[in-house]
Amino acid sequence: MTDLHSWNLLVVEDDPDGQEVLAHILGFHEIRHEIVSTAEEALERVKVTPYTAAIIDLQLPGMDGWRLMQAIRAVAGGVLPCFAITAYHSASLAVKAIADGFAGYIPKPFEAASFVRELSRVIG
Amino acid sequence: MSSEFASDVLHEWVVVVIDDEPDSLEVAQLVLEYYGADVKTAVNGADGLAAIRQYRPRFVVCDISMPVLDGWGVIREMQHDPALTHIPAIALTAHAMVGDRERALSAGFHSYLPKPLTPATFINDLFRLLVDIPEFKIALSPRS
pLDDT tens profile A7-48: 999 999 999 999 999 999 999 999 999 999 999 999 999 999
Give me the torsion for CA of A42, A46, A51, A52, rounded to 10°: 80
Farthest-apart Cα atoms in chain A, separation: 39
In contact, B60 and B88? CB cutoff 8 Å? yes
Nearest to B30 among A91, A101, A121 (CB): A91
pLDDT at residue number B143: 59
Q: Residue A124 above 90 pLDDT?
A: no
Residues of chain A positioned with their CB less than 8 A from the CB of B26: 91
- Judged by a CB distance cut-off of 8 A, whether residue A74 touches chain B is no
What is the Cα B23 distance to its own chain's centre? 15
In a domain, B47, yes or no: yes
**Do β-strands A32-36 and B38-42 pair in parallel, antiparallel, or remain unpaired?**
unpaired
In a domain, B1, yes or no: no
Which pTM was predicted? 0.83
In a domain, B134, yes or no: no
CA atoms within 13 A on the CB side of B18: 31
pLDDT at residue number B1: 46
> Inter-chain contact B120–A100, Cβ cutoff 8 Å?
no
pLDDT at residue number B128: 86
In a domain, B135, yes or no: no
pLDDT at residue number B142: 64
> Inter-chain contact A94–B7, Cβ cutoff 8 Å?
no
Q: Phi and psi dihedrals of B127, rounded to 5?
A: -70, -35
Chain B residue whose CA is closest to A121: B121
Q: Residue A58 above 90 pLDDT?
A: yes
Q: Across residues A42-65, what is the average pLDDT?
A: 95
pLDDT at residue number B99: 85
Q: Phi and psi dihedrals of A31, rounded to 5?
A: -100, 125
The tally of domains found in chain B comes to 1
pLDDT at residue number B3: 57
Q: Which residue has the higher pLDDT, B115 or A2?
A: B115
Tell me which of B7, B9, B19, B31 to substitute to probe the interface with A (most A C-beta atoms closer than 10 Å).
Answer: B31
pLDDT at residue number B65: 92
Nearest to A98 among B23, B26, B119 (CB): B119
pLDDT at residue number B124: 84
Range of the domain at B21: 10-128
Which residues in chain B come in under a pLDDT of 70? 1-4, 95-96, 138, 141-144
Q: How far apart are CA B35 and CA B126, in angstroms?
A: 12
pLDDT in tens, A61-102: 999 999 999 999 888 777 899 999 999 988 889 999 999 999
pLDDT at residue number B138: 66
Give the CATH number of domain A4-123: 3.40.50.2300
Q: Where are the domains of chain A?
A: 4-123
Residues of chain A positioned with their CB less than 8 A from the CB of B118: 94, 105
The amino acid at residue A67 is R
